[in-house]
């Protein structure tokens, strides 16, 4: 087993007095797609935000690519190569598609091939057609693609992807799955928050199941699909 | 009207609009990215002007030419830009996450410091600036002479607009500024170091303020009042245009420029009033300005929390309150005349601060112009006595009624808004009142005010007047305190914490806010009336922005969270002011620095800090999560 790219040990977080996470631990290796599954309110989004430094949190250990990222501001974490795609997309709607991508642009690390607009447009052909359009004039699915593309412009080694399939039409969800697989093919690791088991199963190697702020299951995607008890207890609505 | 005259008049309107735009664009860009309304923007403008009257003549000594003049103007603006960047690094960086009210106050602290610095460095006397070489002549348009420099200013405005457009659309810095204006946390999550983006933004904003100031030197003699007079105008421009919108600032500057150019023909004395009226009308129709976005204004709470400790008095509190009342009752007996005078002022200010606290802490309505109602009360009482021959008693009764009536009138517009726009509108109304009192010399005595506002003969001695003031302020404070604990107070707090939810359970949010605003204005008016009789005079400082800020400082010094806070704050603030002001020429600098320290160190005020201390002695709540 190679060393983990992202390692989270006993992560806890709270909004004011309301505790949300109780000692979450998880790992992701280079090039691996890991799903973090759970219902609404289970703590998926908070886990991602705590990792990226957008929510106050404490942990026994929180490392990315060998760096302790517990006290780092989010821009420093992003510069280490950890990208974040928020659930609510947070596209800059006043900016054009191209300008949105420009905001995300960071130089590539370690002499690897940088993401260019051309490479991104190959994965997200829709975006190429609307380069100069204001992001406010895009559909939800297009915005979701833009937000992923924007994060890729930062040449991350890993992307935290928060519910990319939420609220999208099945055909778009299909495209999302292809995009995740394409990212994986370039060597990018993904930590994927999902409720949609079908989507997660299509792209992920391993899965964690979170409920009430704690990890309840950890295993390969195949094991999760085979374990009816876990699925019924924590995932079905 | 003669068409040539109209052309000339609108050209001069364009020239003022151009200056306004240059300055306002800086303020609006800074607000867009940092979400801070920078009160000190006017100070940066003033610094630009003072630097220019120093630097430009030196350069003109070398070579009396237009390029040298422009070089001097640019150099001044650049220096101001550096000062702005330093201000970001030293101060603003530390207050991005504090409530808006504290940000406004902290930047007002900078205003006070700069005022004293400017007086120290350049003196209090106004300084006439050099004319611009090659632009001293007039140009004839339809046989009317029009100053070439004014035409030049119009051109500069257009050039600045064009350059800003290029910067915003074509450079990475501009794209980042626009992105951060919308969602700065997301920009950070994409790996952009906000700190440098913000420093760069402040440099740009301050540069524009400095440029606007430096360009004024051939037009006006540079003086120490430039900061406050421009900042109110620029606030109006940015608010009308929509905070954060550069095109909005441009359009609004054009409108205001023309309004002033033609308004001065119809109402020469009250153009300022016209401008503020326009702002009020725009905000009622478009609460976020012409080009503004709701999220820019409503994204954050103005206060993190309002009145928290609603606990009724316990035994300890009753004893403390009792002792305080006994001390006050005994003061005229044992204290000398001076102590009694200070005592009266403390009482009056305590009532004014309490009424403001009622608005802010209970109602969540952050007024930046509470001095208006204090001043209206004072002027009402003073004018009734001196101009209409009223006795003190009816004047004291009418003062809160009149102040309440004005609060009802202004409040009708104010309670429709929220957040920073609301604070700006309260400021605008206060400036209207100030402008009227200042400019209507025939009635109000203008800058000098009116003297001879004396109490009736039975209350003429300080000691008796002290008891009179004590009776009035205590009853008003007790009445307001009752309102806090009444269902009305609870509804008001519900509306403060969530207007939509309060609305959903059947509270008429606007109406109870309006009522609260009126009540608070009336109480401040009573304080103002009492104040005028204790001074024997009225003058415009009672309505000025510094008075509003003093009241806010009292409230914050005492802490917003407690009911008793504003009284503690008023007593502490006034005693400190009374003690230190005669000792130093730098009272404003001292006050400004104190405000900044207070915002940085004691955001919960004295009473808040005290309750924090008592909490230490209680068992600590279970720590959240495991320590890292």
pLDDT of A73-115, one tens digit each? 899 999 999 999 998 888 998 899 999 999 999 988 877 788 8
Give the per-residue pLDDT at B617: 54
* pLDDT above 70 as % of chain B: 92
Query: Does residue B33 belong to the interface with chain A, where contact is any CB pair within 8 Å?
Result: no
Inter-CA distances, B463 with B360, B395, B574, Å? 33, 20, 19
Higher local confidence (pLDDT), B310 or A108: A108
Interface residues of A toward B, Cβ cutoff 8 Å, are 10, 12-14, 17, 19, 21-23, 52, 54, 57-60, 70, 73-75, 78-79, 83-84, 86, 90, 92-95, 99-100, 102-104, 106, 150-151, 154
Is B328 a residue whose pLDDT tops 90?
no
Nearest CA in chain A to B192: A75
With beta carbons under 8 A apart, name residues in chain A contacting B194.
75
Asked if B17 and B258 count as a contact pair (C-beta separation under 8 A), the reply is yes
Average pLDDT value for chain B:
86
Query: Beta-carbon neighbour count of residue A29 at 10 Å?
Result: 17
Using a CB–CB cutoff of 8 Å, tell me whether B481 touches chain A. no
Mean pLDDT of B287-312: 62
pLDDT reading at B627 higher than 60: no
Write out chain A residues lying below 8 Å of B497, CB-based. none
Domains, chain A: 6-235 (3.40.50.300)
Contact state of A79 with B182 under an 8 Å Cβ cutoff: no
Strand partners, A68: A63
Q: Is B623 touching A (CB cutoff 8 A)?
A: no
Cα B430 to Cα B432: distance, rounded to the nearest angstrom:
5
Residue B24 pLDDT: 96
**Can you tell me the mean pLDDT for B42-52?**
97
**What percent of chain B shows pLDDT beyond 90?**
41
Which of B190, B293, B301 is most worth mutating to test chain A (most A CB atoms within 10 A of its CB)? B190
Interchain proximity A17–B624, CB inside 8 Å = yes
The torsion angle over the Cα atoms of residues B466, B471, B472 and B476, rounded to 10 degrees, is 140
Q: Which residues, 6 or more positions from B501, have their beta carbon under 8 angstroms from its beta carbon? A: B494
Start-to-end CA span in chain A (Å): 35
pLDDT range class, residue B610, cuts 50, 70, 90 = low
Looking at chain A, which residue has its C-alpha nearest residue B185? A54
Flag whether residue B245 sits within 8 Å of chain A, measured between CB atoms.
Answer: no
Closest CA to B206 of B58, B107, B295, B129: B107
Residue B299 pLDDT level (bands cut at 50, 70, 90)? very low
Q: Which region among A191-195, B421-425, B482-486 has the lowest average model confidence (pLDDT)? A: B421-425
Look at residue A204 in the predicted model and tell me its pLDDT: 93
Residue B488 has pLDDT above 50, yes or no: yes
> Does the pLDDT of residue B172 top 90, yes or no?
yes
The predicted structure's pLDDT at residue B199: 94
Q: For the segment B454-466, what is each residue's pLDDT rounded down to a tens digit?
A: 888 888 888 889 9
| pLDDT(B605) > 70 | no
Average pLDDT on A122-131 reads: 86
Nearest to A93 among B176, B182, B191 (CB): B182
- Is residue B296's pLDDT more than 50? no
ipTM: 0.90
Could you tell me the two tokens for A157? 């080694």
On chain A, the residues whose CB falls within 8 A of the CB of B192 are 75, 103
Chain A residues closer than 8 Å to B188 by CB:
73-75, 78
CA B151, B154, B155 angle in degrees (round to 5)?
90
What average pLDDT score do residues A139-162 get?
92
Q: What is the pLDDT of residue A237?
A: 58
Beta partners for residue B486, in sequence order: none
For residue A75, give the nearest of B181, B193, B621 by CB distance.
B193
pLDDT of B139 = 80
Q: pLDDT higher for A201 or B321?
A: A201
Highest mean pLDDT: which range of B308-312, B314-318, B390-394: B390-394
Please check the confidence at residue B516 and state whether its pLDDT lies above 90: yes
In this prediction, residue A2 carries a pLDDT of: 57
**Per-residue model confidence (pLDDT) at position A1:** 46
Mean pLDDT, rounded, for B576-597? 85
Of A70, A84, A92, the CB nearest to B189: A84
Task: Please report the pLDDT score of residue B421 as a whole number.
Answer: 83
Bridge partners of B140? B145
Say whether residue B167 is in contact with chain A using an 8 A CB cutoff. no
Asked whether the beta carbons of residue A92 and residue B186 sit closer than 8 angstroms, the reply is yes
Contact yes or no for A60 and B626 at CB 8 A: yes
Do the chains contact at B189 and A86, CB–CB below 8 Å? yes
DSSP string, chain A: -PPPSEEEEEEEEEETTEEEEEEEEEEE-TT-EEEEE--TTSSHHHHHHHHHTSS-EE-SEEEETTEE-TT--HHHHHHTTEEEE-TT----TTSBHHHHHHHH--PPSTTPPPP-HHHHHHH-HHHHHTTTSBGGGS-HHHHHHHHHHHHHTT--SEEEEE-TTTT--HHHHHHHHHHHHHHHHTT-EEEEEES-HHHHHHH-SEEEEEETTEEEEEEEHHHHHH-HHHIIIII--
Highest mean pLDDT among B142-146, B278-282, B544-548: B544-548
Q: Please tell me the predicted confidence (pLDDT) of residue B615.
A: 57
Residue B622, pLDDT score: 41
| Contact: A78, B188; criterion CB under 8 Å | yes
Contacts of B115 (CB under 8 A, 6+ apart): B43, B224, B227, B588, B589
Lowest-confidence region among A187-196, B100-109, B347-356: B100-109
**A103 closest CB neighbour out of B179, B626, B628:** B179
**Residue B236, SS3 per DSSP:** helix
pTM over 0.90: no
pLDDT at B281: 85
* Rg for chain B, CA atoms, rounded: 25
């Amino acid at each position: 087993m190679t060393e983990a790219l992202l390692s989270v040990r006993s992560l806890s977080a709270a909004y004011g007095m309301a505790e949300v996470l109780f000692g979450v631990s998880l790992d992701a290796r280079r090039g691996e797609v890991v799903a973090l599954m759970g219902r609404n309110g289970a703590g998926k989004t908070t886990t991602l935000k705590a990792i990226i430094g957008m929510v106050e949190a404490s942990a026994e250990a929180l490392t990315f690519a060998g760096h302790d990222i517990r006290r780092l501001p989010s821009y420093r974490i992003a510069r280490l190569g950890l990208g974040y795609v928020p659930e609510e997309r947070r596209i800059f709607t006043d900016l054009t598609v191209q300008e949105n991508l420009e905001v995300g642009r960071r130089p590539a690390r370690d002499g690897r091939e940088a993401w260019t607009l051309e490479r991104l447009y190959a994965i997200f052909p829709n975006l190429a057609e609307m380069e100069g359009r204001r992001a406010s004039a895009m559909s939800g699915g297009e915005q979701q693609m833009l937000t992923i593309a924007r994060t890729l412009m930062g040449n991350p080694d890993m992307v935290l992807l928060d519910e990319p399939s939420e609220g999208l039409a099945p055909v778009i969800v299909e495209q999302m799955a292809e995009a995740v697989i394409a990212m994986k093919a370039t060597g990018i690791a993904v930590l994927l928050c999902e409720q949609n088991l079908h989507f997660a199963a299509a792209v992920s190697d391993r899965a964690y199941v979170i409920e009430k702020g704690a990890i309840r299951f950890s295993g390969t995607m195949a094991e999760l699909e085979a374990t009816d008890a876990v699925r019924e207890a924590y995932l079905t609505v | 009207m003669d068409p040539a005259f109209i052309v000339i008049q609108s050209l001069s309107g364009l020239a003022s609009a151009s200056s306004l735009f240059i300055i306002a664009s800086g303020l609006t860009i800074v607000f867009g990215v940092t979400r801070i309304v920078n009160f000190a923007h006017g100070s940066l403008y003033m610094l630009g002007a003072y630097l220019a009257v120093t630097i430009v003549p030196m350069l003109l000594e070398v070579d009396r030419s237009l390029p040298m003049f422009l070089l001097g103007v640019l150099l001044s603006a650049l220096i101001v830009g550096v000062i702005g960047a330093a201000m970001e690094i030293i101060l603003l960086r530390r207050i991005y996450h504090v409530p808006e009210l504290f940000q406004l106050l902290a930047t007002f602290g900078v205003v006070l410091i700069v005022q004293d610095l400017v007086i120290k460095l350049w003196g209090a006397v106004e300084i006439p600036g050099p004319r611009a070489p090659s632009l001293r002549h007039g140009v004839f348009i339809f046989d009317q002479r029009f100053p070439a420099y004014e035409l030049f200013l119009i051109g500069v405005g257009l050039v600045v607009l064009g350059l800003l457009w290029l910067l915003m659309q074509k450079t990475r810095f501009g794209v980042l500024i626009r992105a951060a204006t919308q969602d700065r946390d997301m920009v950070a999550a994409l790996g952009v170091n906000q700190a440098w983006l913000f420093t760069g933004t402040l440099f740009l904003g301050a540069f524009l303020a400095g440029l606007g100031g430096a360009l004024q030197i051939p037009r006006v003699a540079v003086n120490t009042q430039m900061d406050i007079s421009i900042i109110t105008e620029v606030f109006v421009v940015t608010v009308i245009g929509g905070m954060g919108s550069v095109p909005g600032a441009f359009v609004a500057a054009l409108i205001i420029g023309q309004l002033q150019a033609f308004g001065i023909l119809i109402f020469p004395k009250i153009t300022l009033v016209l401008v503020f009226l326009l702002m009020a009308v725009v905000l009622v129709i478009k609460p976020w300005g012409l080009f503004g976005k709701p999220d820019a204004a409503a994204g954050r709470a103005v206060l993190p929390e309002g009145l928290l400790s609603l606990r009724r008095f316990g035994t300890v509190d009753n004893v403390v309150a009792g002792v305080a009342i006994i001390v006050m009752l005994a003061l005229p007996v044992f204290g000398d005349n001076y102590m009694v005078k200070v005592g009266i002022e403390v009482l009056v200010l305590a009532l004014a601060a309490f009424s403001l606290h009622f608005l802010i802490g209970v109602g969540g309505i952050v007024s930046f112009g509470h001095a208006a109602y204090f001043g209206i009360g004072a002027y009402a009482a003073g004018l009734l006595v001196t101009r209409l021959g009223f006795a003190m008693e009816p004047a004291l009764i009418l003062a809160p009624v009149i102040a309440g009536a004005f609060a009802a009138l202004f409040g009708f517009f104010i309670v429709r808004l929220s957040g920073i726009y609301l604070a700006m509108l309260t400021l605008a109304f206060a400036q209207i009142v100030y402008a009227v009192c200042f400019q209507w010399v025939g009635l109000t005595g203008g800058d000098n005010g009116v003297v001879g506002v004396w109490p009736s003969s039975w209350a003429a001695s300080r000691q008796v007047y002290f008891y009179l003031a004590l009776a009035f302020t205590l009853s008003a404070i007790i009445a307001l305190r009752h309102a806090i604990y009444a269902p009305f107070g609870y509804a008001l707090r519900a509306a403060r914490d969530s207007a939509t939810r309060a609305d959903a359970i059947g509270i008429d949010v606007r109406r109870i806010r309006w009522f609260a605003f009126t009540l608070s204005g009336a109480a401040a008016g009573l304080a103002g009336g009492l104040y005028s009789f204790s001074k024997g005079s009225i003058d415009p400082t009672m309505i000025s922005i510094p008075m509003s800020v003093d009241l806010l400082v009292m409230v914050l010094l005492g802490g917003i969270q407690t009911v008793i806070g504003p009284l503690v704050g008023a007593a502490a603030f006034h005693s400190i002011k009374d003690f230190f002001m005669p000792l130093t020429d730098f009272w404003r600098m001292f006050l400004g620095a104190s405000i900044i320290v207070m915002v940085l160190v004691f955001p919960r005020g004295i009473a808040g800090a005290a309750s924090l201390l008592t909490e230490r002695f209680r068992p600590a709540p279970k720590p959240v999560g495991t320590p890292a």
